[in-house]
Structures are given as structure tokens and as C-alpha cells.
Structure 1
Amino acid sequence: MNRKLQTSRILISERLTLRKLSKSDSEEILQLRSDIEINKFLDRKPCKTVEDALNFINSIIENESEELFYWAITKTGEDKLIGTICLFEFLDNLKKCEIGYELLTEYQGKGIMIEAVEKVIEYAIKTLEINTIDALVHKDNQSSTKLLQKLNFKKLDDSVEDNPNLVLFRLTT
């Protein structure tokens, strides 16, 4: 399957526009990737400077292909990034991928991420013909756990083999 032609796809929901990440998102990416509350559940090196954020953005732009779909989450009619969502780890023979997402803390608890995830799941199923979507969640991240359960993801394992802090959730269509 050739996903390459689909990478520039903009997704629009009732309140949100999911668009490609751009260098102009550096301030918001810095805010997102340096936030202590967001990063406490993620195993990643936090951004400390705008240069760190730009390096991350450049790596996404360079690596976006049929193996990575990465969207900036914005409110429709506004250009300011409020979060990100991505599909990655594609296994064509299983028609499977993984989903990841993050949202600036001031936008959490407003139904924004469920709307964004629903749109990306719809895209994955209808356009990319994906049958299975996995999500790895930190065992203490109750917000993400509740979100996935609302979207009919099933908890498969209480911990992932190489990281006991992660729990595997799976959506099968």
C-alpha cells in the first residue's frame, strides 16, 4: 500500500483542524515538550530551548513518510498548535499501527483529544486501511486510559514486557 501520497492530508472535525507540523510551531512545541505534567508520563528528553523544538520539528518534517503521520492539532480558524497526534510503527502485513498524542495542559479536559483521536482513527481505517491500532500508556496516566476506553480500545496487558510502567491498549476494527 502506498501511504506516501496521503501524508499532506489535512483532517477537519467539528472544532479542530489537524494539519502538518511547521517551523512556525516552535514556541508551542517547546511549551508542549517542556511541560512537566505532560512529560511525566512520557519517556523522552524534554525540550529546553526553541532550538530543541525546531530540531524536533525538522526531524518530524524530514521523517514524515509512509511510516509516520504527524499532525498539529489546532482549533478550526486558528493556526496556533494546541497539541499533536501521530500514527507510527506501521506493520503492513498486519494492517496495524500505533497512535500517540499530547495536548497542552490548558486545553485538557475539554473533549479536544477525543475529537482529534476519533478523526485520526477514521483516517487510519478508511484511508490507510488499518485494522488494528495500538496505544501504549503509562500505568498512572488515568486521563489517557479513560480516553482510550471511551474510544473502545481494550486493555491487553497490565504492563509491556520491556517497560513495566506501560500498558498496552488495542482497537480492532
Structure 2
Amino acid sequence: MKFPTLYTERLTLREMTNDDCDSIFALRSNESVATFQERPLQENMEEAQAFIEKINAGVANNDWVYWALTLKETDELIGTICLWNYSENITRADLGYELMPHSQGQGFMQEALEPVLTYGFNQLSLNRIDAVTHKENIASINLLKKFNFMLNPDFKDTSEIMYTQKREVRS
């Protein structure tokens, strides 16, 4: 299957390449970006390269769709967004995203999220997309609420909360 490149007014959501290694390292070694994530910071370029290889292998195996979020005019990688952790029957997926601090607060993730949700519900035929975020990540919570994600009361965790969006069923 050909990788699903998506376009918005200011962004290209494309497959990650080895040319993105510096940007992926900058993103995944940034303490500010990792504030609300439970993952270690990358410590060197080899880890960034291994991450890109792991992501692209998962894409090739249809384990997930993982987009490099780039500025349309310059192809600068400013973040990532993905649909991953599919349910066994591929009717549900988790949403993940991260954005460089210098690109936050400019509406880029909101712009990227719309075509990703459309792709998930229409092309992947998902019935539900979940997003887990830290309880104190107000920007992420507000973004999810803008897209009508609802708090999932069944999710039990002390530091994180889950928001869920279900496909609208039309008769």
C-alpha cells in the first residue's frame, strides 16, 4: 500500500525518511516536548535513526500510520502525528502527536488532526479513535475537545486521562 500523504493549507503529512534524523532527534530529545510523555529522551543520533527505522518498518507492516508533520513551503519537520495500537479487528486505534515548542500555539496540530481523523474513519474504517494524555496537558485536552473527543470514564490511571471519538453513524 502506498503511504497516505496528506495535505493541508500549511502542512504536508508525509512518511518519515532518513533525512529527518536531525529533526527527529531534536523533537525526541527536547525536554519540553517530553514533559507529559512517559518515554526517555533520545540521547544520540543513532537512537533517532533507529526510531525512524522502527516507525517505517511498522508502517510497512500496516501496524500503524505515522506521519512526519512538515511545513509545506520548506519541508521542515515540526512534529509527528500517528494512528497506532490498532485493536485486533482494526476497528479502533490510538492517536498520538507531538510538536516542537517553536511551532506550538500556531494551530498546526489542529490543522493536522482534521485530515488524520478523516483518514482514520474513512480510509481505515475505524469506529473509534482514543487519545491518552496527561491530566495536566491542558493544550492537548483542549485540542481533543475541539474535535469532539469525549472523556472516557472507563479509563483508570492516576496521571493520564483518555478521550474517545466514535464514528458518527448515519442512517
Q: TM-score, normalised by structure 2?
A: 0.92
For 1:50, give the aligned amino acid. Answer: M
Alignment map for 1:113-128 (pairs within 5 Å) = 113-128=109-124
Whole-angstrom CA distance in 1 between matches of 2:160 and 2:128: 18
What SS does the aligned partner of 1:79 have? coil
For 2:133, give the aligned amino acid. Answer: V
Q: 2:165 aligns with which of 149, 167, 171?
A: 171
- Corresponding residue number in structure 2 for 1:80: 76
Q: 2:91 aligns with which of 91, 95, 98?
A: 95
For 2:159, give the aligned amino acid. Answer: N
Q: 1:154 aligns with which of 150, 153, 156?
A: 150
What SS does the aligned partner of 2:42 have? coil
Per-residue displacement from partner, 1:75-117 (whole Å, max 9, x unpaired)? 1132221100010111253611110000000000000001111
Q: 1:9 aligns with which of 4, 8, 32?
A: 4
- Corresponding residue number in structure 1 for 2:104: 108
For 1:58, give the aligned amino acid. Answer: E
For 1:125, give the aligned amino acid. Answer: F
Superposition deviation, residue 145 in structure 1: 0.4
- Corresponding residue number in structure 1 for 2:20: 25
Unaligned ranges ≥5, structure 1:
none
State whether structure 2 residue 41 is matched by structure 1 residue 46.
yes
Whole-angstrom CA distance in 2 between matches of 1:89 and 1:149: 21
- Corresponding residue number in structure 2 for 1:59: 54
Unaligned ranges ≥5, structure 2:
none
Whole-angstrom CA distance in 2 between matches of 1:93 and 1:62: 20
Whole-angstrom CA distance in 2 between matches of 1:94 and 1:104: 30
State whether structure 2 residue 133 is matched by structure 1 residue 134.
no
Count of aligned pairs between the two proteins: 166
Whole-angstrom CA distance in 2 between matches of 1:12 and 1:27: 23
For 2:158, give the aligned amino acid. Answer: P
Whole-angstrom CA distance in 2 between matches of 1:153 and 1:121: 11
RMSD: 1.5
For 2:68, give the aligned amino acid. Answer: A
Superposition deviation, residue 23 in structure 1: 0.9
Runs of 4+ residues over 3 Å off in structure 1: none
Superposition deviation, residue 26 in structure 1: 0.9
**Higher helix fraction (1 or 2):** 1
Whole-angstrom CA distance in 2 between matches of 1:94 and 1:127: 12
Identity %: 36
